Amino acid sequence: MRPEEERFGMAPNRSLSEEIETDYLVIGAGATGMAFVDTLLRHSGCDIVLLDRRHAPGGHWLDAYPFVRLHQPSAIYGVESMPLGRDMIEAEGWNAGYYERASAAEICAYYERVLLERMLPTGRVRFLSLHDHRGTEDGAELALSRPTGRTCRIRARRAVVDARYLEAAIPAHRPPPFEVAPGMRVIPPNALPGINGAPSGYTVIGAGKTAMDTVLWLLDHGVAPGCIRWIRPRDAWLSDRSCLQALGLAPRAIACAARSTEAVAQARDMDDLFRRLQAAGLFAALDPEVTPGTYRGALTSRAERDQMRRVTQVVRAGYVTAVTPARIEMQDGSVPTGPAHLHIDCTAGALTRRPTRPVFEEGRITVQCLWFGLTCFNAAITAYVEATRAELAEKNRLCPPCMLPSAARDWVTVRLNAMLAESEWKGEPDIGAFTRASRLNILRGLEAYADDPQLTTSMATLARHSQPARANLRRLAETA
């Protein structure tokens, strides 16, 4: 085994050096930073310093609960230069019929290979692991080595790239955001596979993807639905996984996009919009009696939703405020509990909502969401635009950012933004070629299915309804 410094391209005691100069300093080696660096390397001759306070690339996946998987296909996740997974359609399980989804372990191993096999061999990337970015001093960026306590000063000739602006929030990183009485068992999902002995029951706290994964994991491991209680303060609209598929299943995904675009064009108001999107098969609600109020982009299959619906003890009484020895207190009520009961805190938001700012500023790039749901593709296209354009105004026109969604109505804004970005890209032949070829793009390789009658019909529907849909989205956004 090679020493850590050599494996990660660091000269021994790199952090001792007073100053490093580079073209780009990229802060954050998560999915965003890795996709950005990979594409920038391919389309420019620049030198890059990539730093992260974690020990390896991969971002939040390094600390994720062990049973997490991508909720979208691996086929469109990661970096452009290296495939993730084998583009297999799963034959069994609750994802049967859809493209495979990598586990956290696979994703972390993948990013390490990208670093070792694609980035470092270029001789143009230095990776500073375990370095915490601590701000700017006299025009230099300060990076504190966590193991040595020494500070390294980095000067970026072209830009400092903030690839942690949308850093993911995960439960394992912070204590529960509610009071926990001594002796009460409240664990993050990371600790779930380590439990010994059956508790008197399980309470899953949270309504997001982490909570859904936890419920599914418990069911998959034989826990009876009656032993699971689910505290779901706000139900979320769930996107159907068939609508975000690539390659051989892309015609089916485009059919969903066509139905949804038609629905958008015809929607009278927000309620009508979500009814229509549900009828179009894009959205589903876990409980048919409860209209969801949030949208965070979670993708689920029908089989997963059917499983989750087996849990019928759903508590909707607002956010948990305390777990006391006898009761779980919520904003609008309480339910009984006890020390023999296991509470799983799945309340971290995962998506960090921060105000948008221009992606490109003098000496600074802030990688953000352009097309919601395609995190890696957004970072790659931002890098491509940086490598191929000089003017700030032009670069910003091609990369219009949007805030990540939270309320259901935010779907309108993120969809509108994706349509805006797409129409800007369409006017640029080289970007068209880039997006068509990119493995991170859901539409990659669509030409291969040009003779598919379903695709031809869908494309015609899309062409007919795209403009009216965009106009209607604008109207809905203004009235929301």
At 79, list the tokens. Answer: 């970096």
239, with CB counted inside 10 A (0-12, 13-18, 19+), is: buried
Dihedral sign, CA of 266, 270, 272, 274? positive
Two tokens, residue 103: 């586990």
- Which of positions 207-266 make contact with ligand FAD (CB under 6 A)? 209-210
- Asked if residue 32 binds ligand FAD (CB under 6 A), the reply is yes
What is the helix, strand, coil percentage profile of the chain, to 5?
A: 40, 20, 40
Report the Cα 204 to chain-centroid distance in Å: 22
The CA radius of gyration of the chain, in Å to the nearest whole number, is 23
Q: Quick one: which segment of 48-56, 285-293, 398-406, 414-422 binds ligand FAD (CB under 6 A)?
A: 48-56
Nearer to ligand FAD, 84 or 476 (CB): 84
Q: Which stretch binds ligand FAD (CB under 6 A): 83-91, 167-175, 218-226, 456-464?
A: 167-175
Q: Does 375 bind ligand FAD (CB under 6 A)?
A: yes
> End-to-end alpha-carbon separation of the chain, Å?
58
What does DSSP say about strands 48-51 and 19-27: parallel, antiparallel, or unpaired?
Answer: parallel
Q: Which of 200, 205, 207, 193 is nearest to 224 (CA)?
A: 200
| Of 168 and 476, CB closest to ligand FAD | 168
Return the closest-CA partner of residue 347 out of 182, 149, 204, 242: 204
In the set 166, 244, 369, 385, which binds ligand FAD (CB under 6 A)?
A: 166
Q: Is 398 in the site for ligand FAD (CB under 6 A)?
A: no
The piece of 40-48, 67-75, 322-330, 397-405 that touches ligand FAD (CB under 6 A) is 67-75
Nearer to ligand FAD, 70 or 267 (CB): 70
In this chain, which of 38, 47, 52, 304 binds ligand FAD, going by CB under 6 A? 52
Which of 89, 109, 107 has the alpha carbon at shortest distance from 99? 89
Q: Is 205 in the site for ligand FAD (CB under 6 A)?
A: no
Out of 50, 70, 119, 265, point to the residue binding ligand FAD (CB under 6 A). 70
Please state, in angstroms and as integers, the Cα–Cα distance from residue 409 to each residue in 25, 103, 206, 299, 459, following that order: 36, 31, 20, 17, 26
Q: Token pair for residue 436?
A: 């068509």
Closer residue to ligand FAD, CB minimum distance, 347 or 472: 347
Backbone region of residue 328 per phi and psi (left: phi > 0; alpha: psi in -120 to 50; beta: other values) = beta
Nearer to ligand FAD, 404 or 431 (CB): 404
Q: Binding string, 170-189, against ligand FAD, x = CB under 6 A?
A: x-------------------
Answer for which of 350, 359, 398, 402 binds ligand FAD (CB under 6 A) is 350
51 belongs to the binding site for ligand FAD (CB under 6 A): yes
DSSP-assigned beta bridge partners for residue 160: 25, 364
Task: State yes or no: residue 365 binds ligand FAD (CB under 6 A).
Answer: no
Provide, rounded to whole angstroms, the least separation between the CB of residue 280 and ligand FAD.
22
Nearer to ligand FAD, 161 or 273 (CB): 161
> Are 84 and 106 within 8 A, CB to CB?
yes
CA distances to 88, 127, 256, 377 from 56, in Å: 27, 9, 38, 21
The correct pick among 168, 249, 253, 414 for binding ligand FAD (CB under 6 A) is: 168
Using CB under 6 A as the binding rule, the residues of this chain from 97 to 156 that contact ligand FAD are: 132-133
> Minimum distance from CB of 120 to ligand FAD (Å)?
18
Residue type, 266: Q
Q: Please identify, among the stretches 158-166, 236-244, 410-418, 467-475, the one whose residues bind ligand FAD according to the rule CB under 6 A.
A: 158-166
The amino acid occupying position 219 is: L
**Which residue in 20, 41, 68, 212 binds ligand FAD (CB under 6 A)?**
68
Stretch that binds ligand FAD, among 117-125, 162-170, 230-238, 422-430 (CB under 6 A): 162-170
Q: How far is the CB of 479 from ligand FAD (least distance, A)?
A: 30
* 9: contact with ligand FAD by CB under 6 A: no
Q: For the CB of residue 215, give the shortest distance to ligand FAD in the complex, in Å.
A: 14
C-alpha to C-alpha distances, 447 to 248, 437, 452, 456, nearest whole angstrom = 11, 11, 10, 11
Number of residues lying near ligand FAD (CB under 6 A): 30
Residue 405 CB, shortest distance to ligand FAD, in Å, is 12
Beta-carbon contacts of 123 under 8 Å, excluding residues fewer than 6 positions away, are: none
* 3 state DSSP class of 145: strand
283-302 binders of ligand FAD (CB under 6 A): none
- State yes or no: residue 64 binds ligand FAD (CB under 6 A): yes
Contact residues toward ligand FAD (CB under 6 A) are: 27-33, 51-54, 59-60, 64, 68, 70-72, 132-133, 163-164, 166-168, 170, 209-210, 350, 375
